[in-house]
């Protein structure tokens, strides 16, 4: 395996620790990070000494969504547009810099868009398809594309004050992995996706999204207790239990829904509102465009459930 650029990987005490390691960019997603994530999951799955995977992030938050300015990412959507708290103010971006490097003045080919984004979905779903349990530890923020990593994991431990949600449901995005309904049920999933609101970790626990929501200073210790408890079980038992539970999820049609969610994600960037948002971001920067998008909600994507 070649040296990792964006992820830290280590194994100890039957636990494979996969840590997003772009703290200066809020661990925002790039093609390199997504590819390395998939490689690390496969590496852990094939390692007989590993019983459980722990996914986490370095820096101020877990993951702020897709990156905006990475040089390799001409095909990457704007991070701030997807709620990335780490995206710099006034980040420049040309209107043509969207998924599949599409020029809005020319015909959009949705299958080019789908072919690119569906590869990301396969990488995110490697967490779900991994034969071993995956625990995701969330601190600070987990928004937009970052939620794909969290929701594709098996168990979420979220700091009580952390923020998790999908702000691009307001404009220019659709949750491609389509995991919200399976994790929360249809009514609560609609509550979040109809508004683009986010949950605190404490609210995520109340809603059944998180398995624990400890105080920030207790997050590491509580997560470690959980993964060590899981790691005590025989590997074959863990694999059978995960496979058993996942079958009910797949039987509900998750993989079919993901096709729809991924196609919709492309469509959202080619609606009248999507083009207007993109043009405003090009003129004024994504921070300004997002601020204006969220202004009617009065929350800038923050949790609104406790006033």
Query: pLDDT tens digits for 171-207?
Result: 999 999 999 999 999 999 999 999 999 999 999 999 9
Is 302 inside any structural domain?
Answer: no
Burial of 191-222, coded b for 16+ CB within 10 Å and e otherwise, reads bbbebbbbbbbbbbbebebbbbbbeeeebeeb
Is 303 inside any structural domain?
Answer: no
Is 305 inside any structural domain?
Answer: no
Is 274 inside any structural domain?
Answer: yes
Name the average pLDDT for the chain.
Answer: 87
Looking at residue 46, which CATH number applies to its domain?
Answer: 3.90.226.10
Q: What is the DSSP letter of 171?
A: T
Is 306 inside any structural domain?
Answer: no
**Number of domains the chain is built from:** 1
Q: What sign results for the dihedral spanned by CA atoms 17, 18, 21, 23?
A: negative
Q: What is the pLDDT of residues 125-144, one digit of tens each?
A: 999 999 999 999 999 999 99
pLDDT for residue 304: 43
Is 1 inside any structural domain?
Answer: no
CA separation, residue 301 to residues 63, 169, 196, 200 (Å): 15, 10, 7, 11
Is 2 inside any structural domain?
Answer: no
pLDDT for residue 83: 46
Residue 198 CA to residue 154 CA, distance in Å, equals: 20
Asked whether 116 and 101 are in contact (CB, 8 A), the reply is no
Asked whether 98 and 66 are in contact (CB, 8 A), the reply is no
E strands of the chain, at which residues?
7-12, 15-20, 52-57, 134-138, 141-143, 155-158, 163-165, 198-200
Is 304 inside any structural domain?
Answer: no
Range of the domain at 236: 7-297
Q: What is the DSSP letter of 153?
A: S
Q: If pLDDT is split at 50, 70 and 90, which confidence band does 285 have? A: confident
CA 29 to chain CA mean position, Å:
9
Residue 246 CA to residue 154 CA, distance in Å, equals: 9
Question: What is the 3-class SS of 38-98, one letter each residue?
Answer: HHHHHHHHHCCCCCEEEEEECCCCCECCECCCCCCCCCCCCCHHHCCCCCCCCCCCCCCCC
């Amino acid at each position: 395996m070649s040296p990792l650029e964006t992820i830290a990987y280590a194994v100890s005490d039957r636990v494979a620790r996969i840590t997003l390691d772009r703290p200066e960019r809020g661990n925002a997603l790039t093609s390199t990070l997504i590819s390395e994530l998939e490689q690390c999951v496969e590496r852990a799955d094939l390692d007989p000494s590993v019983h459980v995977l722990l996914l986490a992030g370095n820096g101020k938050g877990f993951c702020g969504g897709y990156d905006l300015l990475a040089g390799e990412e001409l095909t990457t959507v704007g991070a701030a547009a997807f709620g990335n708290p780490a995206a710099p103010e006034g980040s420049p971006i040309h209107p043509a810099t969207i998924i599949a490097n599409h020029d809005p003045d020319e015909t959009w080919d949705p299958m080019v868009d789908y072919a690119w984004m569906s590869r990301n979905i396969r990488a995110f779903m490697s967490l779900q398809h991994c034969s071993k349990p995956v625990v995701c530890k969330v601190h600070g923020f987990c928004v937009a594309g970052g939620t794909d990593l969290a929701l594709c994991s098996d168990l979420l431990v979220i700091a009580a004050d952390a923020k998790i949600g999908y702000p691009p449901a307001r404009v220019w995005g659709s949750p491609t992995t389509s995991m919200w309904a399976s994790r929360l049920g249809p009514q609560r999933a609609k509550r979040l996706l109809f508004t683009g609101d986010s949950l605190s970790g404490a609210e995520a626990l109340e809603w059944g999204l998180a398995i624990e929501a400890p105080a920030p200073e207790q997050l590491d210790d509580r997560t470690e207790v959980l993964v060590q408890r899981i790691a005590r079980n025989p590997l074959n038992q863990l694999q059978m239990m995960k496979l058993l539970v996942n079958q009910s999820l797949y039987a509900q049609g998750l993989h079919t829904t993901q096709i729809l969610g991924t196609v919709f994600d492309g469509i959202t960037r080619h609606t009248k509102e999507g083009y207007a948002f993109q043009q405003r971001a090009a003129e004024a920067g994504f921070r300004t465009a997002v601020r204006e998008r969220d202004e009617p909600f009065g929350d800038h994507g923050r949790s609104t459930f406790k006033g």
